[in-house]
Structure 1
């Protein structure tokens, strides 16, 4: 049951955030709150020691401080900053977090280039009123970076401590 929660909550929250950002250019606070609350409950049940548990929260606080600074100077949206911090909680300090941040940045760069190319193409004029593509076609709005955070999160999640624990439990280790 605990393994199912680990494999459902994190990916579902990321998928919801990506779709929400695509459609409305916002990521609801409840997504980040669900990620934080579920980690706070699930992690101790996996046998995670308190020092590691605290370091996961320290990772979230560090990422929140950095992303808040980026938000303050206009370099990142508020929903993106909160989502990145909440997902950092699941990754903890270490290689999973570094992998997540690097993959999200790479996906974000590719997403930005693709959207800018789309916005400057003649196709934009034909599909710009489509509800799924409206925000991507609109040159007055930013980039729905929640999509990149979700893509990076999906790729990095299998190496996160809770996913590793759940995989080991399913394998019978």
Structure 2
């Protein structure tokens, strides 16, 4: 049940909190890492595969923190991306997640920039859901793209495939 609940909940929570507050709480990433560490051995995942999942998370963390240091990415986004990569592992699902999230993030960025330049922003900029989108001094809440990308790719991830196979038997 943790496989079906925790990851989707964390993706939704991160996306919504990024919309409302432009932050992704550390507890989201900590919960993802902790639950993966507890659940992965219970799935029969061997230690080498589990190690590769952690290696994927650490590699993504190193790259995203480099981007954070350069000002190209928020810290919460970097931690969420690394924790999510841990669940995907070093395989095609990680590549799919990164590509889909990047594509969605690009579309989101274009939409927010167009919204900020439109007259609509001055009328709707006080709405709790749109206020950060309207403020040109804010960055882009990339947690939305990461959450949507994670939710789209997760159903084909190794843990979900394993859990569904167990339910089928």
Tell me the TM-score normalised to structure 2 length.
0.99
Hey, what's the Cα distance between the residues in 2 that align with 1:119 and 1:164? 41
1:23 equivalent in alignment to 2:20: yes
1:88 equivalent in alignment to 2:117: no
1:41 corresponds to which residue? 38
Residues 3-62 of structure 1, C-alpha deviations (whole Å, 9 max, x = no match): x21011000001000011111111000000000000000000010000000110000000
Q: How far has the Cα of 1:171 moved from its partner?
A: 1.9
Counterparts of residues 101-140 of structure 1 (less than 5 Å): 101-140=98-137
Hey, what's the Cα distance between the residues in 1 that align with 2:168 and 2:100? 27
Hey, what's the Cα distance between the residues in 2 that align with 1:51 and 1:15? 30
1:148 corresponds to which residue? 145
Hey, what's the Cα distance between the residues in 1 that align with 2:156 and 2:49? 16
1:64 equivalent in alignment to 2:31: no
1:76 corresponds to which residue? 73
Q: SS of the residue aligned with 1:87?
A: helix
Q: How far has the Cα of 1:159 moved from its partner?
A: 1.5
Counterpart of 1:160 (choices 157, 162, 167) is 157
**How many residue pairs were aligned?**
169
Tell me the TM-score normalised to structure 1 length.
0.96
Where do 5+ consecutive residues of structure 1 fail to align?
none
Q: SS of the residue aligned with 2:34?
A: helix
Q: How far has the Cα of 1:125 moved from its partner?
A: 1.1
Segments of 4+ in structure 1 off by > 3 A? none
Where do 5+ consecutive residues of structure 2 fail to align?
none
Question: For the aligned residues, what is the CA RMSD?
Answer: 0.6
Q: How far has the Cα of 1:88 moved from its partner?
A: 0.3
Hey, what's the Cα distance between the residues in 2 that align with 1:15 and 1:145? 13
